[in-house]
Amino acid sequence: MKILIAPDSFKGSLTAIEFCRIAAEQIQSFIPDAKLDLIPLADGGEGTIEVILANTPGKTIAVSVQNPVGKAVNARYAILAARQTAVIEMAQASGLPLLAANEQNPMMTSSYGTGELIRHALDQGCRHFIIGLGGSATNDGGTGMLQALGIKFLDARQQTIQACGQTLNNIVNIDLTDFDPRIQESEIIIAGDVSNPLCGELGATYVYGPQKGADQKMLAELETGMSHFAEKTSALFTTNTSLMDACGAGAAGGMGYALMAYCRATMKSGFELIAEFSRLDEMITSHDSRPDLIITGEGRFDSQSLQGKLVGQLSEKADKHNIPLIVICGHIGDDIDMNKISPNISAFSLCQSPSNLDYSINHSAKLLKKLVSDLVRSF
What is the tens place of the pLDDT at every residue in 95-109? 999 999 999 999 999
- Measure the CA–CA gap between 207 and 211, rounded to whole angstroms: 8
Name which residue leads in pLDDT, 289 or 119: 119
Residue 239 in this model has a pLDDT that exceeds 80 = no
CATH of the domain at 121: 3.90.1510.10
E strands present in 202-360: 266-268, 293-301, 325-332, 345-349
Task: Answer yes or no: do 190 and 312 share one domain.
Answer: no
- Measure the CA–CA gap between 196 and 216, rounded to whole angstroms: 19
**Amino acid, res. 151:** I
Q: What pLDDT is attached to residue 145?
A: 98
Mean per-residue pLDDT, 135-156: 97
Contact predicate 298/310, CB 8 Å = yes
Task: Answer yes or no: do 224 and 97 share one domain.
Answer: yes
Q: What pLDDT is attached to residue 55?
A: 86
- Measure the CA–CA gap between 376 and 266, rounded to whole angstroms: 42
| 317 belongs to a structural domain | yes
Q: Domain end: 242, 268, 294, which one?
A: 268
| 251 belongs to a structural domain | yes
Q: Domain end: 268, 293, 325, which one?
A: 268
Q: Note the pLDDT tens digit of each residue in 189-235.
A: 999 888 899 999 999 999 999 999 999 999 999 999 999 999 999 99
Task: Answer yes or no: do 138 and 25 share one domain.
Answer: no
Mean per-residue pLDDT, 28-45: 92
Residue 337 in this model has a pLDDT that exceeds 90 = no
Task: Answer yes or no: do 224 and 335 share one domain.
Answer: no
Task: Answer yes or no: do 94 and 216 share one domain.
Answer: yes
Eight-state DSSP code of residue 34: -
Angle 336-338-340 (CA atoms, 0-180°, nearest 5)?
90
Mean per-residue pLDDT, 31-51: 91
Q: What pLDDT is attached to residue 365?
A: 92
Task: Answer yes or no: do 105 and 229 share one domain.
Answer: yes
As a whole number, the mean pLDDT across the chain is 92
Structural domain boundaries, residue 301? 2-42+281-378
CATH of the domain at 369: 3.40.50.10350
Task: Answer yes or no: do 97 and 225 share one domain.
Answer: yes
| 276 belongs to a structural domain | no
Q: What pLDDT is attached to residue 98?
A: 95
Task: Answer yes or no: do 131 and 228 share one domain.
Answer: yes
Q: What pLDDT is attached to residue 180?
A: 98
- Residue 201 CB neighbours (<10 A): 10
Q: What pLDDT is attached to residue 40?
A: 93
Contact predicate 111/254, CB 8 Å = no
Task: Answer yes or no: do 122 and 181 share one domain.
Answer: yes
Q: What one-character-per-residue DSSP string does 46-115 give?
A: TTHHHHHHTTS-EEEEEEEEE-TTS-EEEEEEEEETGGGEEEEEHHHHHBGGGS-GGG--TTT---HHHH
Region of poorest pLDDT, from 124-128, 144-148, 242-246: 242-246
Q: Checking DSSP bridges between strand 128-132 and strand 85-89, what pairing results, if any? A: parallel
Q: Checking DSSP bridges between strand 173-175 and strand 152-154, what pairing results, if any? A: antiparallel
Instruction: Please name the residues in contact with 342: beta carbons below 8 A apart, sequence gap of 6 or more.
Output: 315, 319
Q: What pLDDT is attached to residue 36?
A: 95
% of the chain beyond a pLDDT of 70: 97
Q: Estimate the crossing angle of helix 364-378 against helix 16-30, to 10 degrees.
A: 40
Eight-state DSSP code of residue 7: P
Residue 241 in this model has a pLDDT that exceeds 60 = no
Residue 144, SS3 per DSSP: helix
Q: What pLDDT is attached to residue 131?
A: 97
Number of independent structural domains in the chain: 2
Q: What pLDDT is attached to residue 141?
A: 97
Q: What pLDDT is attached to residue 330?
A: 87
Q: Which of 109, 282, 280, 118 is nearest to 189 (CA)?
A: 118
Mean per-residue pLDDT, 339-366: 80
Task: Answer yes or no: do 98 and 233 share one domain.
Answer: yes
Q: Domain end: 210, 243, 268, which one?
A: 268
Q: What pLDDT is attached to residue 354?
A: 60
Task: Answer yes or no: do 264 and 310 share one domain.
Answer: no
- Measure the CA–CA gap between 301 and 327, rounded to whole angstroms: 8
Q: Note the pLDDT tens digit of each residue in 250-284.
A: 999 999 999 999 999 999 988 889 989 889 998 89
Q: Which of 13, 9, 31 is nearest to 292 (CA)?
A: 31
- pLDDT band for position 353 (cuts 50, 70, 90): low
Dihedrals phi, psi of 267, to nearest 5 degrees: -90, 135
**Amino acid, res. 274:** I
Eight-state DSSP code of residue 10: B
| 273 belongs to a structural domain | no
% of the chain beyond a pLDDT of 90: 71
Phi-psi region of 354 (alpha: psi -120 to 50; beta: other; left: phi over 0): alpha
157 class by beta-carbon count within 10 Å (0-12 exposed, 13-18 middle, 19+ buried): exposed
Mean per-residue pLDDT, 177-193: 95
Q: What pLDDT is attached to residue 44?
A: 84
| 330 belongs to a structural domain | yes
| 274 belongs to a structural domain | no
Q: What pLDDT is attached to residue 258?
A: 97
Contact predicate 350/329, CB 8 Å = yes
- pLDDT band for position 378 (cuts 50, 70, 90): confident
Task: Answer yes or no: do 298 and 260 share one domain.
Answer: no
**Amino acid, res. 254:** G
Q: What one-character-per-residue DSSP string does 11-26 give?
A: TTTB-HHHHHHHHHHH
- pLDDT band for position 155 (cuts 50, 70, 90): very high
Q: What pLDDT is attached to residue 194?
A: 84
